[in-house]
Chains A and B, each alone.
Chain A
Amino acid sequence: MNPNTLPPSPKLSTSGARAEAALDVAFGDQPPKAVRRRAKRPISGALGLLIVGFWLLMALVGPWLAPHGANALVSFEIFGPISLEYPLGTDFLGRDILSRLLHGAPYTIGVALAATVLACLFGVVLGLVAAASGGWIDAAISRTQDALIAIPNKIFALIMVAAFGSSVPLLLVMAAFAYMPGSYRIARAVAVNVMTMDFVQVARARGEAMPYIMFIEVLPNMLRPVLTDFGLRFVYVVLLLSAMSFLGLGVQPPDADWGSLVRENIQGLGEGAPAVLAPAVAIATLTVGVNLIIDSFGARAKREMEN
């Protein structure tokens, strides 16, 4: 209630306010100095950015950089070791793993990214609508989303594949649907919080229409949690799609994403073949990278909140 009990924040002298300047100096009602913060970004965050940036680039240009075709049989040696010619070895048919990895990048990263964008887009819009409308609209949307959440993601993926067969468009839609409810929940919770803020009441009392309140007043204040959630959701989608491919229910041959590469080369595991480890490690670096970014992002968000 009373500002006097807040931990005193550092107040530096400021220039600027002319009319109130005298007042300020005399009575200490000073604005917080606009510190251009050069907050130390933890190394882990930078590392995460580097890894994720690299993979995003590979998703775009990977197939063109690949030394061989995705399905070209280039070696007689199956489960070949790491060599100069085949930097990540060869697979169970004697294909170049590096090339297959680069050709698989658009599937693993591109499909996951598209699905995450769809999931978050629908989740956030529905969350905003629910929070802004309240009443039975909110209840109806929330109930439906809760029902979708109640079907575990992998189970939902299985039933979709069982019903419609596996294809890239289906995987995309499936992943989007599977992760929309989570995004909706977060977006709605944040939006409901923001909606209770006085500036939203000010806009309502001004007579503003709902779309203005939702998109101009509320949405900009949701950006940080929504972005964090986007990153997490992307990780989940990558893991889900890889798992589906690993089960043989994801991307279908002759195309292959990283999950399929692990699956088809699983016999090489006994020999410790790079053919099975390389794609698995690729997935892990991508997801760990995103998590590192989120963690440093979250830590900074927290610091800002506390001040």
Chain B
Amino acid sequence: MNSSIPRLIIGRLGIGVLTLLIVSLVVFILTSLLPGDAAQEQLGQEATPEAVAALRAKLGLDLPVYMRYLSWLGGLVTGNPGVSLVNGMPVDDLIASRLPNSLKLAAATALIAVPLALSIGILSAMYRGSIFDRYTNMLAVFLVSVPEFLIATVAVLIFAVKLGWLSALSRSVEVDSFLQLLSVYAMPVLTLCCVLVAQMARMTRAAVIDQLSSPYVEMAVLKGARPMRVVLRHALPNAIGPIANAVALSLSYLLGGVVIVETIFNYPGIATLMVNAVVTRDMPLVQACVMLFSLGFLLLVLIADIIAILSNPRLRT
């Protein structure tokens, strides 16, 4: 039985790698179906056919499709995802300059959102049907239904425009003081947290309630356990897997949410880089960014899977 845990984890890893491969195929096919020709587009309509052909050769566009895919994939794996079509800089340098900023933003959000959401979710499950539960539920429904750009703009309206506490744009991510830190991160993190906490709390609540309706919880009540003990000692240990799953799925929302939030607050992260690349049709950069986001998603899911496997008592010996 003991060997089944590593086997399961290796299995999940394998599936993750396979999925990532399929993602790369999807991304490559989508970006290669381009109606235009990247070389032609870059040089303009007036370019001589010779010049276009030369650039095509340089970009490897004259190779058969599968060769292009393999060389692109090889580049991704070896850390050489190509060169930006717009400014000629290596894609990995561009990403490396932006990625830490996005990770900081995500980490700050997760640090606030996860504990908050778990407490709200567990509390509202414990006091199901209470005023607290009903109001948090209503608020959560509202928050997940509202576009994040609305929350962001309202935040700007209140804190930057009306109150003048914070500047609407994050001009710099270099912070010297706590106040500066707050002024840079407060609004992006707040915006991201709204949707994140709402979603995560709802899913956590559902996972705990699912356990609360099981016969062993009834048994614990009939043994004289108080509600606190019933939830913390009996329901929660069995809800770890589903909760880990809920946290991972909610956090994966961050991967898309940063797109809007970074754009609105003009935050120099990976998502603004990607949006700009989309606008300028800088394909190598777009491809690399998509792969990065997918990798992030798959890592989250993988971690949740592993936690679920490790917390499953049936796999313990």
Which residues from chain A sit less than 8 Å from chain B, CB to CB?
143-144, 146-156, 158-164, 235, 239, 242-243, 246-249, 259, 262, 266, 269-270, 272, 276, 280, 283-284, 287-288, 290-292, 295
List which B50-78 residues lie within 8 A (CB) of chain A.
none
Residue of A143, A243, A276, A290 touching B147 (CB-CB under 8 A) = A243
Minimum CB–CB distance for A259 against chain B, Å: 8
Our count of residue pairs bridging A and B at CB distance below 8 angstroms stands at 140
CA of A150 to CA of B301, assembled, Å = 9
For residue B161, which residue of chain A has the nearest CB? A270
Please tell me if the beta carbons of B27 and A159 are within 8 angstroms of each other in the complex: yes
Residue of A143, A148, A266, A287 touching B18 (CB-CB under 8 A) = A143
Please tell me if the beta carbons of A158 and B147 are within 8 angstroms of each other in the complex: no
Residue of B18, B27, B146, B283 touching A284 (CB-CB under 8 A) = B146
Known contacts: A150-B20, A150-B23, A162-B31. The answer to whether A247 contacts B263 by CB under 8 A is: yes
Of B90-98, B106-114, B274-282, the one with at least 4 CB within 8 A of chain A = B274-282
Residue of B19, B148, B252, B277 touching A146 (CB-CB under 8 A) = B19
Please tell me if the beta carbons of A158 and B153 are within 8 angstroms of each other in the complex: no
Of B219-227, B230-238, B254-262, the one with at least 4 CB within 8 A of chain A = B254-262
Of B118-126, B171-179, B240-248, B286-294, the one with at least 4 CB within 8 A of chain A = B286-294
- B89 contacts the other chain (CB 8 A): no
For residue B149, which residue of chain A has the nearest CB? A246
Please tell me if the beta carbons of B161 and A269 are within 8 angstroms of each other in the complex: yes
- B132 contacts the other chain (CB 8 A): no
Apart from the given pairs A162-B31, A269-B153, 16 other A-B contacts in the complex at a CB distance below 8 Å: A143-B22, A144-B22, A147-B23, A150-B297, A154-B255, A154-B259, A159-B31, A162-B277, A242-B147, A243-B259, A243-B260, A249-B278, A270-B157, A280-B153, A284-B145, A292-B141
7 closest Cβ pairs, A-B complex: A154-B256, A147-B22, A287-B145, A152-B255, A162-B278, A152-B256, A280-B150
Which of A159, A162, A276, A287 lies at the interface centre, i.e. has the most chain B CB atoms within 10 A of its CB? A162
A280 cross-chain contacts in B, Cβ below 8 A = 147, 149-150, 153
Please tell me if the beta carbons of A150 and B294 are within 8 angstroms of each other in the complex: yes
For residue B213, which residue of chain A has the nearest CB? A306
- B298 contacts the other chain (CB 8 A): yes
A247 cross-chain contacts in B, Cβ below 8 A = 259-260, 263, 275
List 22 A–B pairs whose Cβ atoms lie within 8 Å, in order of A's numbering.
A143-B22, A147-B26, A150-B23, A150-B298, A151-B294, A152-B297, A154-B259, A155-B294, A159-B27, A162-B278, A163-B30, A163-B31, A163-B33, A163-B34, A164-B33, A247-B263, A249-B278, A280-B149, A284-B145, A288-B142, A291-B141, A291-B145
